[in-house]
Amino acid sequence: MKLYGYFRSSASYRVRIALNLKGLGCETLAVDLRAPVSGQRTAQFLAVNPEGLVPVLVDGDRTITQSLAIIEYLEETHPEPPLLPRAPADRAQVRALALAIACDVHPLNNQRVLNYLRTPLGHDEAAVSAWYAHWITRGFEALEEQLRRRGSDGRHMYGGTVTLADALIVPQMYNARRFKVDVAPFATLRGICGHLETLPAFARAAPEAQREAQ
């Protein structure tokens, strides 16, 4: 398998976590998202993914885009250890937590969205940072409340084992810290990430642990 990704891309980070949890080897094909390289906009990469987004997994003659589709593909092709609980109601809860991040927080703060706020909309860096912090804060407030209602174990987003939702929260927390969002109010999320980041599968997936970061 080959993974097109970028070391600081949180969507790529999610997939790296899932690959590590399942003990799967994967060749990394680095796509530098930084201007002026903007590798995601090259004709070569757009031929791989017309959306111009990473990650993309290539498995044999299959090309799979979208991090959650990739992780569910890995889950179905390599079921152990499971990243989704067995019971349908529990699976739905885990997916709901993951989708709250992947659909309702992350896309609003994607690089292309931030760039559009700057040009052509003309917002300055203070306004862009406020936008960024706003959507992470709203998302994290809702997640904290979900965890409070459900009674989190303080180490996982759902139940007592690592799930898909854990592979989503750690990269999102990384983004929040990187962009200096105040995460102090989110004690449960911080505690969960603090635990997960100590696990080898998560530590080896961290942006700083990637070759491009060296």
Ligand X SMILES: N[C@@H](CCC(=O)N[C@@H](CS)C(=O)NCC(=O)O)C(=O)O
Where on the chain is the footprint of ligand X (CB under 6 A)?
9-11, 33, 40, 52-55, 66-68, 102, 110-112
Shortest spacing between CB 99 and ligand X, in angstroms: 10
Shortest spacing between CB 69 and ligand X, in angstroms: 8
Task: For the beta carbon of residue 171, count every other beta carbon within 10 angstroms.
Answer: 27
Check if the beta carbon of residue 6 is closer than 8 Å to that of residue 30.
Answer: yes
Question: Smaller CB distance to ligand X: residue 39 or 82?
Answer: 39
The helix (run of H) or strand (run of E) holding residue 192 is helix 187-196
Residue type, 44: Q
Contacts 24+ apart (CB under 8 A), 142-149: 142/100, 143/97, 143/100, 143/101, 143/169, 143/186, 143/189, 144/185, 144/186, 144/187, 144/188, 144/189, 146/97, 146/100, 147/188, 147/189, 147/192, 148/188
Question: Smaller CB distance to ligand X: residue 6 or 158?
Answer: 6
Question: Smaller CB distance to ligand X: residue 114 or 133?
Answer: 114
Shortest spacing between CB 112 and ligand X, in angstroms: 3
Report how far residue 142's alpha carbon sits from residue 138's, in angstroms, rounded to the nearest whole number: 6
Residue type, 134: H
Shortest spacing between CB 151 and ligand X, in angstroms: 29
Shortest spacing between CB 55 and ligand X, in angstroms: 6
Question: Smaller CB distance to ligand X: residue 111 or 129?
Answer: 111
Question: Smaller CB distance to ligand X: residue 54 or 100?
Answer: 54
Question: Smaller CB distance to ligand X: residue 55 or 152?
Answer: 55
**Read out DSSP for 125-146?**
HHHHHHHHHHHHHHHHHHHHHH
Q: In the numeric block, which tokens belong to residue 86?
A: 């067995």
Shortest spacing between CB 56 and ligand X, in angstroms: 8
